[in-house]
Amino acid sequence: MTAHVPTFGGFVAASAAAGRLVVQPRMGFGDPDRMRAGLGRTKAATARTAGTLTVDSYTRVNDLAGALAAVREGTGLNGYPIATHSPDTTREVLDGLYGADFPVQVRHGSARPDAIIRALAAAGLDATEGGPVSYCLPYGRTPLRDSVAAWERACELLAEGARPGAVPHLESFGGCLLGQLCPPGLLVAMSVLECVFFARHGLRSVSLSYAQQTDAVQDEEALRALHRLAGEFLPAGVDHHVVLYTYMGVFPHTERGATRLLEASARLAIRSGAGRLIVKTAAEAHRIPTVEENVRALETAAAAAALAGPPEPLAADPDGEVYQEARTLVETVLGLHPDLSRALNEAFARGLLDVPFCLHPDNAGRSLGFIDPGGRLRWARTGAMPIRADPAAGAAPLTSSGLIAALWHVAGRYDLPGDDDAPGEDEGGGRRERPVVAPLTV
């Protein structure tokens, strides 16, 4: 392995300074040889890439015995069991690939990530992602209090386990809560709060995430708000960048529609000044993608980004709805207690943070999002959160058909036959109106 590896955040910053968007796949294989081959193909792609080791489901829930049994039996896994394979094995996977021109991040999904953090540090890695809320509420029934405590330890382990001179990097998954139908103000606030949490527990390099939603202009407004709030709330000296996720909900079923959506996310990343893009592939609606399909997605996104041109001034109000909602939520939580761990627990206990459609026992479940006739995500109900619902939402109950229509909203738009421009955008990246397909009824 290369002896001198720059920081993950430094690699993204240098790429941005050179006018290059970093593109990154979701990729993980249980077999070390397949994992190495996947990383090698990612590095060789015609794009500015970062590598990914996505962890398997057994390891995510700390069933290390199950992971070990699967490895011994040769059972296929849906990710790389980093806490089961030895550090030497992982170093062999990375040897000659991981280096100054190719950082690697471990992605996992665990509410209790201690074993994962110890394993990645032992293998010489220092970049991962998650968060005390974002890797708890959507994924299981781990009590939020336990997840918060576990992530305190994880931050400290990551900071303490780094090699001399390294700057460990931690990405918040907070901008991706449940992937869809959550108005952007809460996504932005959660990403900021988790990164403040990381900084308070010793991390000096973080990234703030946001998942592409239903409206290009609203998404750009949200990403700009994320940049601004990071500057306002993160401590001075904490390196940070914004990472955008290509749409995480129901994906278009046609290859053409999926490609158009991916290209739209790359243009959005450029327009909003995001430093990194997590891609999805044209196979997402059907099955787990192959390495080749991941590489094709990386190259498609990189090409779309290269053609997008430099960021342009935002047409929307910089002090608009998304910024104001997110700032209100962040200030409310930070005002609950000086200890952010206690503040996060109290915020959810009181319903001051409330994720729509989230069934976790520690989530109040009184909020509800909807897609308005213009395609924007808005609040139908806000519960006890200190923000207002849309008065135009009405009082009609959410129906099963309405929910299904909302879940298919983006896929339906991009699968529509038409010209080659992404729905909702003109050639310059601005908003172009097109009829909304079956908006959510509330």
Question: Mean pLDDT across the stretch 111-122?
Answer: 97
Residue 400 has pLDDT above 90, yes or no: no
pLDDT in the model for residue 340:
98
Residue 100 vs residue 71, higher pLDDT:
71
Average pLDDT for the chain? 90
Give the tens place of pLDDT for each residue, 214-235. Answer: 999 999 999 999 999 999 999 9
Q: How far apart are CA 289 and CA 2, in angstroms?
A: 29
Beta bridge partner(s), residue 425: 431
pLDDT in the model for residue 434:
36
Q: How far is CA 206 from the centre of its chain?
A: 13
Q: How far apart are CA 208 and CA 200, in angstroms?
A: 15
Q: Which amino acid is at 360?
A: H
Question: Mean pLDDT across the stretch 388-411?
Answer: 82
pTM greater than 0.95: no
Burial 288-318 (b: 16+ CB within 10 A, else e): ebebebbbbbbbbbbebbeebeeeeebebee
Q: How far apart are CA 266 and CA 57, in angstroms?
A: 29
Give the tens place of pLDDT for each residue, 83-101. Answer: 999 999 999 999 999 998 9
Please name which of 272, 277, 286 lies closest in space to residue 223, comparing C-alpha atoms.
272
| Rg of the chain in Å (alpha carbons) | 21
pLDDT in the model for residue 228:
96
Please state, as a whole number, how many other Cβ atoms lie within 10 Å of the Cβ of residue 13. 18
Q: Which strand (E) or helix (H) includes residue 91?
A: helix 87-94
Please name which of 107, 222, 224 lies closest in space to residue 175, comparing C-alpha atoms.
222
pLDDT in the model for residue 319:
81
Residue 103 has pLDDT above 60, yes or no: yes
Give the tens place of pLDDT for each residue, 125-138. Answer: 999 999 999 999 98
- 377-382/367-371 β-pairing: antiparallel
Q: Are 116 and 155 in contact (CB under 8 A)?
A: no
State the pLDDT confidence band at 429, using cuts at 50, 70 and 90: very low
pLDDT in the model for residue 284:
77
Distances (CA, A) of 146 to 132, 152, 342: 9, 10, 12
User: DSSP string spanning 325-367?
Assistant: HHHHHHHHHHTT-SSHHHHHHHHHHTTSS--TT---TTS---E
Residue 89 vs residue 165, higher pLDDT:
89
Please state, as a whole number, how many other Cβ atoms lie within 10 Å of the Cβ of residue 113. 31
Please name which of 428, 408, 424, 373 lies closest in space to residue 260, comparing C-alpha atoms.
424
Percent of all residues in the chain with a pLDDT value above 70, rounded to a whole number: 90
Burial 180-191 (b: 16+ CB within 10 A, else e): bbbbbbbbbbbb
Q: How far apart are CA 11 and CA 16, in angstroms?
A: 9
Give me the sign of the Cα torsion angle 344, 346, 348, 351: negative
Give the tens place of pLDDT for each residue, 275-287. Answer: 999 999 988 778 8
Residue 12 has pLDDT above 80, yes or no: yes
Q: How far apart are CA 55 and CA 116, in angstroms?
A: 9
pLDDT in the model for residue 440:
31
At 105 the three-state DSSP class reads strand
Give the tens place of pLDDT for each residue, 340-358. Answer: 999 999 999 999 999 999 9
Taking 3-state DSSP, the helix, strand and coil percentages for the chain, each rounded to the nearest 5, stand at 40, 10, 45
- Give all domains of the chain, ordered by start, each with its CATH number: 8-308 (3.20.20.240)
Question: Look-up: residue for tokens 């509800």?
Answer: 368
Phi, psi of 375 (to 5 degrees): 100, -5
Q: For 212-256, where are the E strands, in sequence order?
A: 239-245
State the pLDDT confidence band at 316, using cuts at 50, 70 and 90: low
pLDDT in the model for residue 163:
79
Please name which of 353, 389, 352 lies closest in space to residue 370, comparing C-alpha atoms.
389
Give the tens place of pLDDT for each residue, 363-384. Answer: 999 999 999 989 999 999 999 9
